[in-house]
Amino acid sequence: MRRLFVALATALTLGGLAGCASPPTKGTGDLGVVIERGTGTVAIVDTSERRVLAEVPGLGDLSHASVVFSRDGGSAFIFGRDGALTRVNLITRRIEQRVMQAGNSIGGAVSQDGTLVAAQNYEPGGVKVFDARTLALVADIPTEYAPGQRSRVVGLADLPGRRFVFSLFDADQIWVADLSDASRPVITRFENVGRQPYDALVTPNGRHYIAGLFGEDGFAMIDLWAAEPRVQRILGGYGRGGQPLPVYKMPHLRGWAVAGRQAYLPAIGRHEVLVVDTDTWTETARIPVAGQPVFVVARPDGRQVWVNFAVPDYHRVQVIDTQSRQVVKTLEPGKAVLHLEFTPRGEAVWISSRDANHVSVYDTTSFTSLVTLPLAAPSGIFFTSRAARMGF
């Protein structure tokens, strides 16, 4: 009788707990978000089932929205062009917190330990750092480079040890902010890095920070493992001997491609992808492509590199085979391709076509279309696998 009583009590307790809170039916590794810039909405998607699970409205101006994820992949931090930072719970599918932290924000990053989220701002210029759980402000870093003058911030990325690195577009500088003590950030400044750093990336091991230069041909690089880090100029004058073309859309380095020891980078004002040896940081090849590349992104295994383009070629996507360094496929998913994102192991790629109002999912081996999802003016696509990657 005693055993029967214990068994009944346990069953009632477990049943009561189950009735109080329904746990998620699956983990967050299958999830992602798609920005619907036309409606200020994010669509929560399932990458295995290839479908939209829910749409969360009320996120304001998403015309240049960017997303990073909490350490557990359960929350998406969304940076809006109107300066808002919003935390969306991907399990409950609702907004958890929202703060208007600037006048114009274009992205951010989460610290290595997952406790801090940083926003890079155009207006008023600078970086603000928040508690990742509550979105309470913990640090404000104004990028004043001359009396009364603040620079727009680009290329913000996380580094090991509660540090962030970012570029100052108007000041030709790169700063590293150490927030070991978030109440007293320690700033290291690198000056005269080159004209107008416009975007940047951190290599997967956190060693090199590379900023593209809009005001001149070339890139600025810092070896952050060096005893005394300094700025090194690489790929200087890559456009020498050719007539530069009008730049209709700034390339993005954050979706950079690495295959083996080669990096694949977009060339500003040229119909080329640059191939760079990551040991020597010298150019080893150039690959002609259909237009001016915007995103140059590697499939997770590094065997393929996928490229999208600025106008007038923004309806195309090209696939480069990294063994032959040749374009092996040209796709036309729809007008105004803005972004592409691989599933965590790379068997499929999701591509947004803003003016066609849909997201296309392709098999990366056969290049066949798997599904087309209707969404309102989709732009950025972000999967929770980014939570485990430095610089993403």
300-312 tens-digit pLDDT: 999 999 999 999 9
The pairing of strands 163-168 and 173-178 is antiparallel
CA distance to 36, 64, 119, 145, 248, per residue, from 104 (Å): 18, 10, 10, 19, 21
pLDDT value for 22: 55
- For residue 57, cis peptide bond before it (omega within 30 degrees of 0): no
Q: Which residues contact 103 (CB under 8 A, 6 or more apart)?
A: 82, 83, 121, 122, 123, 124
Q: Say if residue 9's pLDDT is above 50.
A: no
In the numeric block, the tokens 């590199």 are attached to 305
**Which residue in 35, 82, 50 sits closest to 376, CA to CA?**
35
pLDDT value for 15: 43
> Which of 87-101, 249-263, 315-329 has the least mean pLDDT?
249-263
pLDDT value for 205: 86
pLDDT value for 246: 60
- 354 Cα distance to chain centroid: 18
Confidence class for position 147, pLDDT limits 50, 70, 90: very high
Distance CA 321, CA 302 (A): 9
Model confidence over 223-265: pLDDT tens digits? 999 999 999 998 887 765 455 656 556 667 766 677 778 989 8
Q: Say if residue 203's pLDDT is above 70.
A: yes
Stronger pLDDT, 251 or 350, i.e. the higher one: 350
**Which residue in 314, 324, 263 sits closest to 293, CA to CA?**
314
- 130 Cα distance to chain centroid: 19
pTM for this model (two decimals): 0.90
